[in-house]
């Protein structure tokens, strides 16, 4: 019950039921006769209930949620906890309000509180990176992700190894290969952005290949062997530059063109040097034979 003089009092909504308002007016008069504070027709808002995170914190004692997570969780409940201008559960609310000092959200039962906890967990999973019980990502080795997927990958002890959301997107795009070459080619694409169109992954060793018994992973993706991964990523981008996203495609197409120009220039220089050496050898042979040069 919001104490007199606290919180804010809303006006009467045009959607409010006249029967409901009359019912709570009678209830309020009876409460006042008994020396209890009025419910005030469910129009007074308590300051601790001014935000969705505050509501969730009061109902299930979970604090620090963002407004998005708290609002999503409350909105996902099949039976609403709150409704404007009337109690969400009128009978339970009426009984709870008879207490001289009712605790906040007293009419919300254990089943509803558990449903809210589950809804919070689901909402948090869409925006907050979390660990997977099966370990880190089998490819990039990242320890936390917003969403996890099961995969054909295995740890060294043959237990299932999951994929983080980012790596799973590439696996799906490659039509979810199951063979080792297909999996390593997909892992290479997840690392480099380059699609090898049937390659064996250029010898890449994913996290599941090197993790051993430690499945804890790393704080950032592809951090378990930075030098080797940087080298294989560069090879992939130079080999298939046209498959890269627009941000990298132009850069690597130019790199490949520059490398080809350098290779042609080196080959031309080599041919020129070889021709000069041949001419010098012929001239030397002619002088040795006594021919005029």
| Residue-level pLDDT at 189 | 96
At 119-139, the pLDDT tens digits run 999 998 888 899 999 999 999
| Residue-level pLDDT at 165 | 94
How far apart CA 155 and CA 172 sit, in angstroms, is 21
How far apart CA 72 and CA 75 sit, in angstroms, is 5
Over residues 259-278, the mean pLDDT reads 79
At 70-92, the pLDDT tens digits run 999 999 888 777 655 556 666 77
Structure tokens at 73: 């969780």
Determine the number of helices (DSSP H) and then strands (DSSP E) in the chain.
Answer: 10, 6
Q: How many CA atoms lie within 13 A of 62 on its CB side?
A: 20
State what percent of residues in the chain have pLDDT above 70: 90
Query: Dihedral through CA 118, CA 124, CA 129, CA 135, nearest 10?
Result: 0
Average pLDDT over all residues of the chain: 85
CA distances (Å), origin 63, targets 46, 50, 71, 106, 220:
18, 15, 13, 19, 27
């Amino acid at each position: 019950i919001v104490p007199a003089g606290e919180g804010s009092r809303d006006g009467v909504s045009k959607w409010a039921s006249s029967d409901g308002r009359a019912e709570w007016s009678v209830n309020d008069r009876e409460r006042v006769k008994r020396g209890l504070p009025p419910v005030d027709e469910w129009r007074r808002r308590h300051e601790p209930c001014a935000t969705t995170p505050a509501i969730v914190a009061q109902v299930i004692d979970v604090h620090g949620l963002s407004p998005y997570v708290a609002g999503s969780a409350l909105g996902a409940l099949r039976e609403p906890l709150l409704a404007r201008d009337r109690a969400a559960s009128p009978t339970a609310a009426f009984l709870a309000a008879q207490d001289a000092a009712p605790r906040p959200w007293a009419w919300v039962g254990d089943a509803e509180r558990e449903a809210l906890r589950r809804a919070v967990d689901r909402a948090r999973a869409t925006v907050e990176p979390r660990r997977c019980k099966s370990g880190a990502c089998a490819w990039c080795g990242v320890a936390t992700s917003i969403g996890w997927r099961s995969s054909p990958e295995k740890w060294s002890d043959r237990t299932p190894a999951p994929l983080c959301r980012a790596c799973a997107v590439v696996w799906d795009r490659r039509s979810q290969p199951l063979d080792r070459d297909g999996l390593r080619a997909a892992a290479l694409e997840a690392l480099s952005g380059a699609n090898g169109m049937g390659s064996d992954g250029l010898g890449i060793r994913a996290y599941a290949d090197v993790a051993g018994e430690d499945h804890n992973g790393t704080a950032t993706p592809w951090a378990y062997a930075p030098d080797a991964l940087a080298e294989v990523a560069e090879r992939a981008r130079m080999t298939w530059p046209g498959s890269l996203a627009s941000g990298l495609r132009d850069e690597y197409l130019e790199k490949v063109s520059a490398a080809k120009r350098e290779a042609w220039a080196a080959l031309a220089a080599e041919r020129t040097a070889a021709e000069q050496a041949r001419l010098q050898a012929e001239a030397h042979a002619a002088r040795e034979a006594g021919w005029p040069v």
